[in-house]
Structure 1
């Protein structure tokens, strides 16, 4: 039987890789973790979720300071933002979380951590080159590729000669840009657009699709867009990007508008947010016989690659590029690769949230997806403007949408509204736990809370049955009810 240096080796120290490493080491497997960056934590901690949500909170508070009169408070003069202070707060938050993802912690769990680049030599062996210039070959019985993703850079004329930002640089600016042009209309693009607009930048968003958040239902995406437009963000939708040029103090993006006219916008800074590219460069996956393409490493339902002893999880598969999805997939890999118990990845109720204000959270199918799959459905909605807590907090914009199949079983939920990501958690438990809607409807929700909207939309379809004309006639027949006491 072949002898290997390690039982399991993991490449990449983001959410997926750290989950696998911790699980394998604690289970007693001799574990190696290789990370090309000088710190652990991946994009999420350093360039993604953590810094972006920290920035968004600062922008939210600043926006509320400017809106004091909405809450019956005196109008006050709010000084301009010093972005260096915002940047320092972002760094403090990252530094506070970093110890949870430290080499010392994983060493205590029993895993060896090496900072360097790994490239496969064959299907069981990889060459690791450290930043110090040292190199060695290591072998492992099982390998896990969790190298994540990076900002996708389009082939756009002039971009290679024009300074631009991605999610790696946007949180480390020396000062707030007076104006910002954003290419893209997905979650990262719209989150940053609103945050920087609230902090004081003039923001233009250029999107190829005719709507922002193009995977979502148009009516729900329009709610978010409407709020952002009211706050000063300008959207250019349905465009064709033509070229970019550096004008010295400004960057110019030239595009063809939805009306077919060539036009341009200028900004002191340019942010490219056109999705993600999977992190397969330099891994020499061909040497290991691992199948992949530009969309990601190909895996089966147990997250095994074309080589059954090599797994891939997280963004690098190109499937669900969320930190929580990566953590979930890491758990699936541990079950299969370490405990050798067959476990399939199930994405039926994988939640997603875009942290604009209002937030946009979704679970299961939306109307676009249901129509594409040919699924029959009915739509039930409830407006946040009719929720008492929402009114009390001046958070009136938003809607919850529930899709039911022909048997009145939930297909999916979308929420565009205040703290939508938190509200979605109840649906994750209910739908993921196969709890009946009648149980959710019968549960008591504290008043006044935003969560009442969940119970209310769930009860709508049941209310139509309970209070139908047929039920009224039956009750009248058995109990002699006399009907309406007021008006027609």
Structure 2
């Protein structure tokens, strides 16, 4: 069999770019097949900056909403703020696209092939693109995903936006005043808060009991409260049953509530970009939302690997890159590495920021038992850094065993994305919570929250030991009184 490449990477997602560059560092011959599709990842990265800019513009004296006197003036200022924010986002997106340009990949030794292709099984496994046969020792699917559109009566006829086209649709357009966002995923929450900060009326409809189904409920309620303070109307445990266009107005039926809106954003999840790849011919199985892979990230064809949101889960770049590293090493060398998400953090770019790693309180107690798990809490309002920056909303929550092993953490607050990285490092290196309590962070800094939270472990152990001692003393006293 003639081999053209060590690995062929299919898909222009961020994970695909990361894997292609990593392959060149391993001295592998690599081709990246990128369809003629704009995945919009650059605008997703610019999203948080739009929200931050919105807050800055609203707080500035020249753009301050609270200083406005007329409805017309308010609309004018919101329009100006939106225009400035979109220009800023376009600059950020342009810079990110430049960093991930095809020219940079080609300069690093990646054979970049633009076009759509499909697998062919006969006479041997190849990938065909632009009438060219690409033969490789292994293939890596990193084709990303697209928004999943739920089957809701009247939705298609009424019209809607998705995560892939919202920013392009709004570029150069007047920002709609009223929004309904369907779906509880990180991106929907980020966009809901961003739009509210630009003065929009936003309703977020979530079918789960909490705004995110896999989030610690205590943290979820705190985040929901922050969203509601900023003007986002959150409807949980509500399913959208129908959408109608009545007298040029869009109406949504969410549970027992009928909501009038100017625009609808559907953000219920993703489905993988797989249909055109001819996977069935080469024995690759997939479900509606993900490919079937093992813990080595092999598909049901042992020469084809996959990574990123094409295998399901939330769309987080750091997790996709972690998977790309595992899959690439297994594809190029002996397949021995296995994915372990226990110490891989993720973050949502809300304000305040939310980050999580490892097990939640409920998961830990189910796995290890309620008596073996300690829950440590500390609030951001106790820190000098939070007071100085007026960012006192937030909480750090550590989940640990009685022996000091850290099982997980949830952080809502300023710099949560940076703080969770330190927790993830301690978990990956098996560092105990007592060592975290001995940390001497710079003062004032947000890192103090980790030290303060970790100190709660020794307090809880001391209290439990005192309680045990009191129980034993009472038991012995009872025995003496009854001559036992």
TM-score bin (small chain)? 0.7 to 0.9
Check whether the contact 1:118–1:126 (CA below 8 A) recurs between aligned residues. Answer: yes
Corresponding position of 2:358: 364
Unpaired stretches in structure 2, ≥5 consecutive residues: 69-73, 470-484
Change (3 A) 1:15 1:189: same
Corresponding position of 2:403: 407
Corresponding position of 1:80: 78
Change (3 A) 1:364 1:61: same
Greater Cα shift, 235-244 or 79-88 = 79-88
Corresponding position of 1:17: 16
Query: Aligned with 2:277: secondary structure?
Result: coil
Deviations 1:194-248 (A, max 9, x none): 1100111111111111221121122211111111111111122211221112346
Deviations 1:451-486 (A, max 9, x none): 10110011111134569997xx9xxxxxxxxxxxxx
Q: Quote the offset at 1:427 in angstroms.
A: 0.8
Q: Quote the offset at 1:76 in angstroms.
A: 4.6
Q: Does 1:44 align with 2:45?
A: no
Q: Does 1:446 align with 2:445?
A: no
Corresponding position of 2:418: 422
Deviations 1:243-271 (A, max 9, x none): 11234643211122xxxx3x211211110
Check whether the contact 1:193–1:205 (CA below 8 A) recurs between aligned residues. Answer: yes
What's the TM-score once normalised by structure 2's chain length?
0.87
Check whether the contact 1:26–1:110 (CA below 8 A) recurs between aligned residues. Answer: no
Q: Does 1:347 align with 2:341?
A: yes
Corresponding position of 1:220: 219
CA distance in 1 between partners of 2:204 and 2:62 (Å): 24
Change (3 A) 1:427 1:98: same
Please, which of 260, 267, 276 is the counterpart of residue 273 of structure 1? 267
CA distance in 1 between partners of 2:349 and 2:215 (Å): 14
Corresponding position of 2:126: 125
Query: Aligned with 1:106: secondary structure?
Result: helix
Q: Does 1:26 align with 2:21?
A: no
Q: Does 1:169 align with 2:170?
A: no
Check whether the contact 1:361–1:420 (CA below 8 A) recurs between aligned residues. Answer: yes
| Root-mean-square deviation (Å) | 2.6
Corresponding position of 1:148: 144
Query: Aligned with 2:111: secondary structure?
Result: strand
Please, which of 40, 48, 51 is the counterpart of residue 53 of structure 1? 48
Query: Aligned with 1:110: secondary structure?
Result: coil
Query: Aligned with 2:343: secondary structure?
Result: coil
Check whether the contact 1:398–1:415 (CA below 8 A) recurs between aligned residues. Answer: yes
CA distance in 2 between partners of 1:429 and 1:408 (Å): 15
CA distance in 2 between partners of 1:317 and 1:179 (Å): 34
Please, which of 315, 320, 325 is the counterpart of residue 319 of structure 2? 325
Check whether the contact 1:244–1:251 (CA below 8 A) recurs between aligned residues. Answer: yes
Corresponding position of 2:389: 393
Corresponding position of 1:178: 177
Q: Quote the offset at 1:136 in angstroms.
A: 3.2
Query: Aligned with 1:271: secondary structure?
Result: strand
Q: Quote the offset at 1:63 in angstroms.
A: 4.3
Deviations 1:47-102 (A, max 9, x none): x2x12222222223234438999xxxx97558324323322221111111222211
What number of residue pairs does the alignment pair up? 453
**Equivalent runs, 1:309-320 vs 2, <5 Å:** 309-319=303-313
Structure 1 moving runs of 4+ over 6 Å: 66-69, 466-470
Report the structure, 1 or 2, having the larger helix content: 2
Query: Aligned with 2:196: secondary structure?
Result: helix
Check whether the contact 1:107–1:113 (CA below 8 A) recurs between aligned residues. Answer: yes
Q: Quote the offset at 1:43 in angstroms.
A: 4.4
Deviations 1:146-195 (A, max 9, x none): 11111111011111112211112221201211111111122111111111
CA distance in 2 between partners of 1:344 and 1:66 (Å): 54
Q: Quote the offset at 1:308 in angstroms.
A: 1.4
CA distance in 2 between partners of 1:402 and 1:277 (Å): 33
Change (3 A) 1:368 1:214: same
